[in-house]
Amino acid sequence: MNVVPAEAPREHTEFAYVFTIIPSLDDFHAHQRAATVSAQVTSPQDGIIGVKLIHWAGQVNNSPYDRLNTTSGHTNIIHDNLANKLKYASGPLALDVNTAANELDFVFRSLSGKKLTDHSFRSIGYVADQRNEAHRYEDGLYAAKQGYMLAELDLSVGEKVYGLGERFGPFAKNGQTFNIGNEDGGTRSELAYKNIPFYISSNGYGVFINHPGNISLEVQSERTTRVNISVPDEEIEYFIVYGDSPKDILRRYTALTGRPGLVPSWSYNLWLTTSFTTNYDERTVTAFLDGFRDRDIPLGVFHFDCFWMKSYQWCDFQFDEEMFPYSVGYLKRLKGRGLRISVWINPYVAQASLLFEEGKANRYFIKRIDGSVWQWDFWQAGMAIVDFTNPAACTWYSTLLERLMEIGVDSFKTDFAERIPVKSIKYHNGANPVRMHNYYALLYKRTVYKTLSTRVGDNQGLLFARSTAPGGQAYPVHWGGDCESTFEAMAESLRGGLSLMLCGYIFWASGIGGFEGTPSPALYKRWVQFGLLSSHSRLHGSSSFRVPWICGEDCSIVIRDCVKLKMLLTPYILAEALRGHRDGTPLMRALFLEFTKDLNTYAIDTQYMFGSNLLVAQVFNEAGEVTFYVPKTEEGTGSGHLGSIFKVWYAEAHDFATMPILIRPGSVIMTNPKLKTPEEDALHGIQLLVNGTLPAESVVEIVNPGQTDQVLKTLRLTRTSDNNDTEVDWVDEREKLCFRRWTKIIVKKTSICFQKVIFQIKLFKYQYVR
C-alpha cells in the first residue's frame, strides 16, 4: 500500500493529520475498481490518540452520540518526508506511522519507547458483503451491499484484555467474541445489558471504540495475536488511552467520556424491594417493615416494583388504588419511619394506560416509517416507546416523574431499555435507529437523572439502572440484572460488576439472594455478605420475597450485623466514592488496579478491593471454604498474612459470622461506630483504624454526608519519629479522635469480621495538635 499525506492543519491540533491509504496497483483497470481508506489522526485529550479510518466520507452524520470532552495544545507533529516517517505525540503517548510504500505501519508507544500496540501487516480493511435482498437483475453491480470497516490491533505475548462493559463470562476477555449491542439476556450468557466499547490492556493502555452502532470484537478468537474490531459502516474510529497505571487509564478515559456522578449518602443504606411478580399491598409492606424493626435490622430505602401500578397500564405513574387506596398518606407514613422511597419505571407506555392517547396525540412516541406509533405486545399489550430524542417528550416524561417526587418518591428504578427496535422506525431527530439501539438507554437515564437533580441538587439524586451506554457513568447507580439464585450466578454477577467498573463506572449492585428462583439459607447469607460489601445493597427477587426471616432467623442475624458493619465503614465509603468521582477509580475494583506489578492479580475474579484499603474474598459454596490470594505490598511493616511480604495463597473455612476481609498494610481506615444511618453527623464519633506502619505522611478526608461532593475536614497524619509517633492536625472538639487497637472487628461475635489482617494493627502514640 501507498500513503498520500495531506498537510496538517496549523491551528487545530485536535484534527492533526490526515492521509489516504491506496492499493499498490500497476494495472489501470484495477485502479478503476480499487477502494481507498483515509486515516485521520486526532488527540482530544493529553495522553489519548485517536485514529479514524474512512472508506466513503459521504454519509449523513446522524450519530446520536454526545461530543467527547476535548482540550488543545498538547500535541506535537513531526513529519519526515525523506524517511517516510510521521511521529505524532500527545503528552506521554506517541504514534509512529511508517508511510513508505507497502510498509504501512501504526505503532503506539509510551514516550519511554515501550511499544503498546500497533496496526501491522494486513490490519486495516474494508469488506463488502454482497448478500442483499435485491434481485441479481435489479442490482447487477452489487451496489446494494453492506460495507464493513475493519481495524486489528496487535497483542503482545501474555497480554490480557479486560472490560467491555458488564460481562458475566471469563474475566479476562482473551479468546472470546463480543457484539456490542444491549440485550435483555440475564447473567448466564454472552449477552449483556451494559455494553461499553472500551477495554483495558495489561500492557498499559486502553482502547475506546467511538462508534454508537453495532461493533464486533474478536479478542484473540479469530487472529491469535490480535483484537479484531469491525463495524457495519463506512468508517471506524478508536482511541488509544495511555496510563502509567490502570487507574491512570481510567482517569483519562473518564476525562474523555465524562466523570462518574456521585450519590447521596442515604443510598448506602440497605434497600428492600417488593420483588418482581409477587402479590403485595399496604398490609404486606407494613408487615415486612415491622419485621426489620423488630429484629433491629437497619433499613433505609423501600422500593415498590412494577405492581405498584395496575396491570396492563405500565407505565401510567399512578399507584393502583385497589392495593394502595391512600397512597399519598401511606408514603408519608413510610417517610415517618425514616425511609426513602423508590419506585419502578420503564420507558414504555401500554395502550391501556391513560397516558397512551396523550403521548400519541403529541407525537411523544417512536414512530413507524408511515408515521404511526410503533407498538408491540411483548411486554405490555400495545406497548409504545417514549421518544427521548424529542425535547417535548422528555419534558412530558419529567413532569410525570415530578408528580411522584412531590408525594415523596426519592428515586426511580429505571428498568429495561434494551428491547429497542432498529428496523422500519424513525426518531423525532432523525437519528439512525441502529445507532440509537444502545444509546437510547443513555437518553432515558439522563432524562430521569436530570429530573431528580433539578429537584434535589447535583450529585444528590440516583437511579437504579439496568442498561447503559458509554458516558452512563454520569448517571448512577447500575445493578447487575436478572441472575439466578445459585453460587455460580453470584460469581457471574461479581465478574460482571468488576468488568463494568473497569469502564468508568464507580458504583454497582447485585440483587441479594439472586433474582430467579429461591435462595438456600447458605446462599442467602453469603450473598448478604457480598451485597453489603458492594457499593449499594438491595434485597430483590422475582417471584419470592427476600426478607431474611423467610430463609431462617439466623439469616436475620447475619444481615443485621452486615448492615451495621457497612454503617461503621460509612466515612471510608464516602471518601472512596469522592475519589472515584474525581478520577474514575471504582469503589469495588479488580485487584490489579491496586497491585499492578503483581501479575498474579490479573487472573483473580473472586476477590476485589473495596476501596483502596480493604481486600474482600467472597465465599462461593455451602461448605464455607474459600481460597484467596494476598498480594505482595510495598507499604507497612509487621506480621499477619505473610502474603504481604511473600505473595501467598490461603485456604480457610468460615462460618456465616466471618469471611476474609484484609486490611492493607500502612493504611488508615475511617470508621464511626456511633452512626445509625449514613446521613448522620460525620465528625462526631470518628475513629481511625490504623494498620501497620504508616507512611511518613497520610491524608484522610472526611466527606460531608449531606453533600457528598464536599470535604468537611482534612486530616494530615505525619509520622514524627521511628517509634511511629504521629501528629494529627485536626481533632473534633466535641470528642477527640479515637485510635483503637483491633486485630478483628466483630459485632457481637456474629458479624462479618476483619478475620485476619495483613499486618497486626498496632497502637500508635499520637500528639493532638489543636
Whole-number pLDDT of residue 465: 99
Mean pLDDT of 426-447: 97
More reliable by pLDDT, 736 or 586: 586
455 — pLDDT class (breaks 50, 70, 90): very high
Contact 615, 665 (CB under 8 A): no
* Nearest one of 324, 328, 308 to 316, comparing CA atoms: 308
Percent of residues, the chain, with pLDDT higher than 90: 73
What whole-number distance in Å separates Cα of residue 476 and Cα of residue 169? 23
For residue 61 the three cell numbers come to 452524520
For residue 521 the three cell numbers come to 439459607
The residues spanned by each domain of the chain are 2-57+75-242, 588-768
pLDDT exceeds 50 at position 705:
yes
**pLDDT tens by residue, 369-402:** 999 999 999 999 999 999 999 999 999 999 999 9
For residue 299 the three cell numbers come to 433499613
For cell 479488580, the residue is 590
Contact 235, 52 (CB under 8 A): yes
Sign of CA dihedral 236, 170, 546, 658: negative
Return the C-alpha torsion angle 396, 399, 401, 402, nearest 10. Answer: 170
Q: Could you tell me where the DSSP H helices lie in 319-409?
A: 327-336, 356-361, 391-406
3-state secondary structure 194-239: ECCCEEEECCCEEEEECCCCCCEEEECCCCCCEEEEEECCCEEEEE
**pLDDT tens by residue, 48-101:** 999 999 999 988 888 776 789 999 888 888 877 767 888 999 999 999 998 887
For residue 141 the three cell numbers come to 453491480
* Nearest one of 569, 649, 556 to 614, comparing CA atoms: 569
* Nearest one of 182, 242, 181, 258 to 214, comparing CA atoms: 181
- Provide the CB-side half-sphere exposure for 352 (13 A, CA): 10
| Fold classification of 588-768 (topology level) | Immunoglobulin-like (2.60.40)
Contact 536, 508 (CB under 8 A): yes
For residue 214 the three cell numbers come to 453495532
Look at 318-327, 383-392, 522-531, 743-752 and tell me which has the smallest mean pLDDT.
Answer: 743-752
Q: Write out the catalytic residue numbers.
A: 415, 418, 482
For residue 112 the three cell numbers come to 519511554
Strands (E), 383-483: 384-385, 411-414, 425-426, 463-465
For residue 301 the three cell numbers come to 430505602
Whole-number pLDDT of residue 346: 96
What whole-number distance in Å separates Cα of residue 462 and Cα of residue 452? 7
pLDDT exceeds 50 at position 753:
no
Whole-number pLDDT of residue 758: 30
For residue 103 the three cell numbers come to 510498509
For residue 511 the three cell numbers come to 440483587
Residue by residue, DSSP assigns 319-333 as --TTT-TTHHHHHHH
637 — pLDDT class (breaks 50, 70, 90): very low
Q: At what angle do helices 487-500 and 521-532 cross, to 10 degrees?
A: 20
Give the pTM. Answer: 0.92
Whole-number pLDDT of residue 146: 85
pLDDT exceeds 90 at position 697:
no
Mean pLDDT of 507-514: 98
Query: The CATH number of 2-57+75-242 is which of 2.60.40.1760, 1.10.540.10, 1.20.210.10, 3.20.20.140?
Result: 2.60.40.1760
Spacing of C-alpha 351 from chain mean position: 34
Mean pLDDT of 732-760: 33
3-state secondary structure of 73: coil
* Nearest one of 686, 750, 687, 759 to 724, comparing CA atoms: 759
**pLDDT tens by residue, 517-545:** 999 999 999 999 999 999 999 999 998 99
Whole-number pLDDT of residue 759: 27
What whole-number distance in Å separates Cα of residue 85 and Cα of residue 127? 28
Mean pLDDT of 464-478: 98
Given this chain, do its domains 2-57+75-242 and 588-768 carry the same CATH topology? yes
